[in-house]
A = this chain, B = another copy of it.
Amino acid sequence: MSNSPLTTPELIHSPKEMRAKVLAAQKSGLTVGFVPTMGALHEGHLSLVGRAAAECDVAVVSIFVNPTQFGPSEDFAKYPRTLPDDMKLLSRYNPVWVFAPEAADMYPPGMSTVVQPPSVALPLEGASRPTHFAGVATVVLKLLNLVPADIAYFGQKDYQQACVIRQMVIDLDVATRIIVCPIVRDEDGLAMSSRNRYLSPEERTAALSISRALRVATERLEAGDRDAASIAAGMRAEMNAAGIREIDYAILADPQTLETLQTATDTVVILIAARVGQTRLIDNCVVSLTPTL
């Protein structure tokens, strides 16, 4: 697939038309890579699109701010919607098809089936945001039915979401292959997120303590420390010192089940969710240590 610059991506609103286009492409022998997003694209999203473009003949990017994955007190109304900017950013890649369905087409009257996500959805984000992953699982399954891609790409930034989707796809025998891509960070270390634009300069400075806490924890693990509770306390102290008071979780967990660990094993995922001002941020880091002989 060529990267001829500044070709306006094709924009498709109709779910029916979207599926027909994907099936026609596949029938003609092309492979399709799919990147589901809520728009407000940043370099994190674009790294997924770049990978889809490199590995498949056509990249499809969906842009849909999915109402059902927001809780009643969350930021659905103010979530950034920047379709013209998104289209411009996507013009780096060619061919890219942008699927931007209307909420009324995704959730017509009478729509009442819900995918109850796998058990890995229960802790952490599932505890803080009880209906979130049912909304995510349902919309992702719908999107994978409308864009029956060969491969779909998700970001590791939403680590638990990636676990939920990977397990759901196995559990329901969805044919699409799931690939999870690394977190992209700004130069100062902050994990890219559409919600970063909510942060004031002071809040952004405070938010840097999140990725710093992950680094400190990683260093302790690499130095041989296995006391997960103490490492977790260290992460909280790091964020508290930067003025962050509302920490939903800061833990070391099993990378498959997401169960909180008291003693670190050779592969752990370090997971943080914290509120900086009004903005809830998440970040994570997988640490794989070579067992000492």
Contacts and interface: CB of A to CB of B under 8 A. Distances in A.
Contacts of A113: 115-118, 137, 167-168, 171-172
Interface in A109-148: 110-120, 134, 137-138, 141-142, 145-146, 148
A104 B280 CA distance: 41
Interface residue range, chain A: 20 to 34
A111 B171 CA distance: 5
A15 interface: yes
A123 to B, nearest CB: 13
A19 interface: yes
B167 A110 contact: yes
A216 interface: no
A140 to B, nearest CB: 11
Looking at A112, A117, A168, the one whose CB has the most chain B CB atoms below 10 A away is A112
A112 to B, nearest CB: 4
A116 B172 CA distance: 13
Interface string A145-172: 1101000000000000000000110111
Contact of A115 (B116, B173, B175): B116
Nearest to A116: B114
Contact of A173 (B27, B114, B118, B142): B142
Contacts of A168: 113
Given A113-B115, A113-B167, A115-B116, 7 more contacts: A19-B173, A112-B119, A113-B117, A113-B172, A116-B116, A145-B174, A146-B173
Question: Which 7 residue pairs spanning A and B have beta carbons closest together?
Answer: A113-B171, A145-B173, A112-B118, A112-B119, A114-B116, A113-B118, A142-B173
17 contacts: A19-B173, A19-B175, A112-B118, A112-B119, A112-B120, A113-B115, A113-B168, A113-B172, A114-B116, A115-B115, A116-B116, A142-B172, A142-B173, A145-B172, A145-B174, A145-B175, A148-B175
Interface of A: 15, 19, 27, 110-120, 134, 137-138, 141-142, 145-146, 148, 167-168, 170-175
